[in-house]
Structure 1
Amino acid sequence: MDTQQISAPSRAPSPVRGDATPSSGVVHINSRHTSHFTVVGNHLAQHRELSLLAIGLATHIQSLPAGTKVGIKPLTERFPDSEARIAAALRELEAHGYLKRTRERLPDGRVVTRTCSYNQPGSIDARPVPAPRRRPKRSHPAPVAAPAPALAPVATPAPPTPEAPAPAPTAVTPTPAPRPTSPATPKPPPLPRPTEPLPQLLDAAIALLTDLHRRAPHITLTERDIHHLAPAVATWFERGTTPAAVRQALTSDLPQPLRFPAKFLRHRLIALLPPPTTPAHQPAPLQNCDRCDRAFRSPTPGNCHDCAADEPHLLSA
């Protein structure tokens, strides 16, 4: 009777995490990566103060190999976001310690921007890595001449009569040679602008430029580029060019690779600009004859052609 009989467990077993499928929310289907992956901490992926663009941009920068350019221009060419949004995201990463950009002067005099990306802010000193300095070449010491043998004392002659010191030569400052003047670089011609900037023409031009990347994926324009080129496209519309003709002129025979789409379109809008349309001949306005009240065209009121021809006969009668 003194043996204790245990008929029930002391507590129910706790469920194992990950075995049961959650009733709501996200379900993770994970596969193990063996190559081409980047480790990102939850402090970045779940940051409560960074924007989604800044979190994605930091993840992209951490996945790039060392030496890749991560300025505003390369990132704008890589992603569809505008320069203003990418610049704001880079400032967010700098403010929270995930990015640091410093300008340094190299030994050869060039000024470069050094960008440091931190996968965990505060764990490594953020001071920029100093540029390597070139060691000066060591010059071999000149050989020391052996001391001359001592000579027997010689009778000292009488000192010569002192002469007047020669005048010191006047230092002549060399005149620097004039630098060759390079020819001034000609300024590019300005973009054409419509004579009457109608709102409907500008709206149609913005819609055409925005839709160009659907027909030519190599043409990626920022919002600033579109508003800069829209008046030139409106000038084409004002001169009677159809949207299909403008689109064909801008997207045909594109160079490969197309590095600067906005500059390329600017050149074509200027070089291929059609001539202005000549206004059609305006007929003379209609006038009513003073005698027969018949309508006729004339710049001034008066009599029609028939009444004017009969007027001498009436005067003679």
Structure 2
Amino acid sequence: MASPGYGKQTAPGELPPAADDFAHLPVREAYLASLINNLPDGAAMDVKTLAVYQPLFGQMAVRTALNNLSTAGHLRRVRERVNAERPQWVFRTYFSRTPHSDAWWNYFLATGGAPEASTDSAPDPPEERSATPPSSVSPAYAALAGLGVADTRLALSAADCEALEPLAAEWLARGTTPALFTAALTAGLPTPVHSPAAFTRRRLIDKMPPERPLPQQQPTRIIECTDCRTPCRPHALLGGLCRACRSGRATKAPPPRPGALSPIAVRRHADRIRQGLRGDNTQLLQAR
């Protein structure tokens, strides 16, 4: 077992156990996934411990298998802050018998709850999405449509509301309530307003409220690359691996320094030193 608070953590959203849970995996990955699945929560599952725990695979093979299990959607490594008063962090590996997509893992690690089943499903084809009409209008669209009710000089058409919707949405995103939105756009209107859409667009741009600074919050969970354990943002990981590990650069040896001896030259130099030492010892023995 790992230290309290560390080690394996079972992710939610698993399907009932079945004999073919890991049939989609290669033999080595299926073997280790079955082993990890049977470990209790809190069990140590670092590379060294898993290599010692079973007799078939060494540390390098276990490390590669864990990377493959991450890519297949079975696990993610994270650092979690468990104490809000002082910065105490623990290292955990979330494991799911049921594989999940990157979107599912990102939602779970950001919120702590399992998303709906639709998060793991493939998106609908574009033609099917476009054929389905929206069931309700957005708050920004509704605020724009309500301007004509508050003052007929700003009566906008449906096309005008759709075109101005992004600007209005930015107002609401910056904390403006629908009532304040209507008051700001209808105050001091000229008579007449020749082009309600152009006039509204100009006011939306000129009177845009300032962005409100967000309160600084300490992160409670940091996702790591499964391979190199580097902390990363969720969108930078695909299959739980960072870009360097996916491209293989993280496993390549660093380039030799300028002027550094090659391994062959180092061995030759060491052999010459050994021969010199043996010669000196021989002379010493003869002198005695």
Higher helix share: 2
Q: Compute the TM-score of the two structures, normalised by the length of structure 2.
A: 0.29
Larger Rg: 1
Structure with more relative contact order (C-alpha pairs < 8 Å, separation 6 or more): 2
